[in-house]
Amino acid sequence: MADSQNILSMNGIRKSFPGVTALEDVDFSLRKGEIHALIGENGAGKSTLIKVLTGVEHPDAGSIELDEKLVQVRSPQHSQELGISTVYQEINLCTNISVAENIMLGFEPYRFGGIDWKKMNALASEATKRLDVDIDVTQPLGNFSVAIQQMVAIVRSLEVASPKILILDEPTSSLDVNETTQLFNVIRKLKSEGIGIVFITHFLDQVYEISDRITVLRNGKLVGTYNSASLPRIELIGKMLGRSLTELDEVSKAKQKSEQKKDMECLVEAKGLGLTGSIEPIDLELHASEVVGLAGLLGSGRTEIANLIFGIDTPDKGSLTIRGKKISHFSPLASLENGIALCPEDRKAEGVVGDLTIRENIILALQARYGWFKFIGTQKQYEIAEKYIKLLGITTPSPDQLVKNLSGGNQQKVILARWLATDPQVLILDEPTRGIDVGAKAEIQKLVLLLAQEGKSIIFISSELEEVLRTSHRIIVMRDHKKAAEYPGDVDDQTIIQTMAGIL
């Protein structure tokens, strides 16, 4: 039903930030009355592409054409004027004012010098009914469910300007099945009116349910644009995960050398461990001298399970036993004392303290375990810092460098050093090689296997399938917040991809 005419055409878009290339030569097009899904793992470049389209960021190179006319999108305001409307993942509305107000804020009808509430409510009511949403528009937005709030956001974007393009950024993340269906009805209605819709999501089921075409991004590059009807799910996942370079073969050899010994001590045992709204009950075992890889797509629950084991979140189902001791109190400090360490996913927000020196960052967790009064003397601090700088190959002129001045790879090594310094028995690594150059990646992967050889137990979480396969003795595949399957380390990638796709 979609026209073959392009209402949007992005060509050769390039965007870099200090230290990282977010988009490299990316093309994207949208037809009239088309629902076009944009997918890719974290760091693939989806959000940057959208920011370029909506004027939040300006591209370093490349062009944008609307209705085959060249345009420069200067700002979010301007993008609205050009006919591009966006509904973000976080509902960008105000929960304290009424639905009607949210829809008409900034464009309220006036009468005799004041807002005409009656008219505003009437207009808003009409607008929501047009999308088959029947609610009392005079109630504060916050009184309604997230699903309804999402609809109101869409209504607003349609009322504020008559958009030709509607961008929906992860619209279904907080919706249940019924609400999603309702949303899709609305989307189909808009499609029939000729609006082109960009649909960003990580739910592959939904991609197949509603989209006409799919564009896949990976590591800032365009992998390809396909018709949904002609791309099997398995192939899609394969394209999302992609291949890495052969330099990493060295790591494979390292793994072959370290054989997993049988009957090793069980260090971590999770039975039915779960948290409502975050992770379904899961059974997990970790033994000494083994690397367990946690594979899965974005949103499958890998970080959530890591946070549960490390005590950032407190589970409300099941039990966790560490080295025979049942855990009753969940907190990072308690985990530290039990010999567990977590290298978090977001190293900038949860890992490094940028304005502290390398030395201070490295000894931080160790000092936390010692408490306030058992102070690690300055000389000892330098010793520890120097030891790990050498061990991990952190490139820096001195341990007194501020961590924020280091490259991404070096920052990751500092975080790793922090946790290694606490001499943990169990080490959880959540995306430890994200945003790092290939050489450093290989170093970290080799280190992981080395640590396993020393008797430690490691959970290795990564979106890069190659990496997980290369370093793990056992692989657990997560899907939809559940443990989908468990495989030995020599499983082939097709099996894993099929498990992720839900076929196996």
Partner 1 sequence: MKNNTPLFNRIRENRLFWPLVALALIFIFNAIFSPGFFKLGILDGHLYGNLIDVFNNSAPLMLVALGMTLVIATGGIDLSVGAVIAISAAMGAVLINPVFGNEEITNAVAADPTLTNTPLWLVVVVTLVAGTLCGLWNGMLVSRAKISPMVATLILMVAGRGIAQLIERGQIMTIYYKPYHWFGNGFILGLPVSIYIVAVVYLLAWLLVRKTSIGLFIESVGLNSKSTYYSGISEKNVKLFAYTFCGFCGAVAGLILGSYIHAIDANNIGLNYELDAIFAVVIGGTLMSGGRFSLLASIVGALIIWTFTITMYIFGVPANALLAGRAVLVLVVILLYSDYARIFLNKFFDRKGSKHGATN
Partner 2 sequence: MAQRIKPFLVNNGPLLTTITIFILVYVMGGRLYPAMQKPQVFFNLFINNAALLIVSIGMTFVILTKGIDLSVAGMIALTSAASAALLVNGVNPVVVMILMLLMGIVFGLAMGSLIYYLKVEPFIVTLMGLFFARGMAYIITLASLTIKDPFYRYLALTKLNIPLFEKAYVYIPSLVGPLLLLVAIYLANFTRFGRTVYAIGNNEQSAMLMGLPVARTKITVYAFGGFCSALAGIVFSISLLSGYGGYAPGMELDAIASVVIGGTMLTGGVGNVIGTLFGVLINGTIVSILQFNGTLSSWWTRIGVGVLTLVFIGIQSLFYMRKKHS
> Contact between 313 and partner 2 (CB under 8 A)?
no
Q: Lay out the site mask for partner 2 across 117-156 (x = CB under 8 A, - = otherwise).
A: ----------------------xx-xx------------x
The binder of 356, among partner 1, partner 2, none, by C-beta within 5 to 8 A per type, is partner 1
> Contact between 56 and partner 1 (CB under 8 A)?
no
Q: Which is nearer to partner 2, 97 or 438 (CB)?
A: 97
Helix, strand, or coil (residue 403): helix
Interatomic CA distance for residues 364 and 416, integer angstroms:
12
> Contact between 349 and partner 1 (CB under 8 A)?
yes
Q: Which is nearer to partner 1, 108 or 350 (CB)?
A: 350
Number of residues that bind partner 2 (CB under 8 A): 24
Which one of 13, 22, 93, 403 is in contact with partner 2 (CB under 8 A)?
93
> Contact between 355 and partner 1 (CB under 8 A)?
yes
Which one of 92, 181, 319, 395 is in contact with partner 2 (CB under 8 A)?
92
Interatomic CA distance for residues 270 and 192, integer angstroms:
49
Q: What angle is formed at CA 426 by the lines to CA 422 and CA 428, rounded to 5 degrees?
A: 95
Amino acid occupying residue 131: L
Give me the residues paired with residue 429 across strands: 343, 460
Tokens of 255: 């793994």
CB 183 within 8 A of CB 103: no
Which one of 149, 335, 463, 471 is in contact with partner 1 (CB under 8 A)?
335
Alpha carbons within 13 angstroms on the beta-carbon side of residue 443 total 15
Which one of 115, 438, 450, 503 is in contact with partner 2 (CB under 8 A)?
115
User: What's the Cα-to-Cα distance from 204 to each of 181, 231, 236, 299, 431, rounded to whole Å?
Assistant: 15, 12, 9, 11, 22
Minimal distance in Å, beta carbon 19 to partner 1? 19
Which one of 368, 391, 485, 504 is in contact with partner 1 (CB under 8 A)?
368
Q: Which is nearer to partner 1, 133 or 352 (CB)?
A: 352
Interatomic CA distance for residues 182 and 148, integer angstroms:
10
| Beta pairing, strands 266-275 & 317-322 | antiparallel
> Contact between 96 and partner 2 (CB under 8 A)?
yes
In the chain the first and final C-alpha atoms are separated, in Å, by: 34
Interatomic CA distance for residues 164 and 285, integer angstroms:
52
Contact residues for partner 2 (CB under 8 A)?
A: 76-77, 80, 88, 91-97, 101, 105-106, 108, 113-115, 139-140, 142-143, 156, 160
Contact residues for partner 1 (CB under 8 A)?
A: 58-60, 312, 331-333, 335-336, 342, 344, 349-356, 360, 364-365, 367-376, 418
